Amino acid sequence: MGSIPKVAIVYVVDPYHEDAIAKLQSQRNLTVILPGDPRIKSYHTDATHILVRSETTIGEADILKARNLKAIIKQGVGVDNIDLQAARRHGVIVCNTPGINSESVAELTLALALSIARRVCEIDRRVRNGEKVIRSKTLGHSLFRKTIGVIGMGNIGRVVAKKWVGAMEGKVIAYDPYAPDSAWDDMKDVQRTAQLGELLQQADLVSLHVPLTEQTQGLIRKEEFAMMKSNAILINCARGGIVDEEALLDALREGRILGAGLDAMDVEPPSLEKYGNTLLDHPGVIMTPHIGASTIENQSRSGIAAVDILCKLLRGEEVESRLT
């Protein structure tokens, strides 16, 4: 590999793992501005490259102000916090780090599903409140050999499906109208459907793994909840906005589904002010503040991957995850 040919001014506008920072600072010909430095707020002045996560939104106004900006590298898969069309119009490269978060997001998906099915968080709260929990009157649901419906046949959905078969010996039904016909051909335990309704009617667990787009906005609404089993669990470890939250609340209150695990909501991070009298008031709901990728191991891997992409760009090499 060649060396970085000239000086670049790199702003790390969101927190990155120390391993990624160490690798970045080891590169020659880079000026690196880290989180906590007061200059971060004025990155528009001279940034040539930006390393970002989900905390910072970069819109067209930011891109127009940052006249020296050449590239934005996003740690993680989702790029809905970056105006891709504006970046494309103004010649700014945008890259992400797909595939690296898959294991950690899949782990959280199963953790939420099992916690809801076995009423772990609900029972824990009752014990902490001093209630005597009678076991015979506090039965959960087994997920062993049950059916998972995976919506979105990308990297994360694939790992979720594999873990489900391995851990639960369960059936997998998958829906993704945009995935190629050959997607998941090597996974013999997967039934693919072209109809979302078919998946919803069969699944004991419905797990969302799609980006937020015009096509997926409000994908799960009142009509979709009406198709689901009364003991079904919905998991959203993807993006807020995919689920109609008012319809979800109605479905929960009316007993049309068993519960929901939400790592992605309309309002993030979730708060008592927003959800205290609605979704958080239901015992079958678990909310986490978009922590699917938040393991020590994954933050190190994905941060280093973002730095590697930056270095490739600076050396003039091709990057597979380039989006603009």
Category of 284 on φ-ψ map: left (φ > 0), alpha (ψ -120 to 50) or beta: alpha
Cα distance between residue 159 and residue 315, in whole Å: 33
Residue among 118, 268, 282, 322 flagged as catalytic:
268
- Dihedral angle sign, alpha carbons of residues 281, 284, 101, 221: negative
Tell me if residue 49 is catalytic: no
Query: In the chain, at which residue ranges do the beta strands (DSSP E only) sit?
Result: 8-12, 30-33, 49-52, 71-74, 93-95, 147-151, 171-175, 190-193, 205-208, 233-236, 259-262, 285-287
Tell me if residue 135 is catalytic: no
CA 36 to chain centre: 26
Q: How many CB atoms lie within 10 A of CB 228?
A: 24
Residue among 17, 49, 53, 290 flagged as catalytic:
290
Give me 251's structure tokens.
């479905």
Name the amino acid, one letter, at 263: D
Residue among 239, 245, 256, 301 flagged as catalytic:
239
Tell me if residue 60 is catalytic: no
Q: What are phi and psi of 315, to 5 degrees?
A: -90, 0
Cα distance between residue 149 and residue 207, in whole Å: 6
User: Are the C-beta atoms of 71 and 95 separated by less than 8 Å?
Assistant: yes
Catalytic residue numbers, as ranges: 239, 268, 290
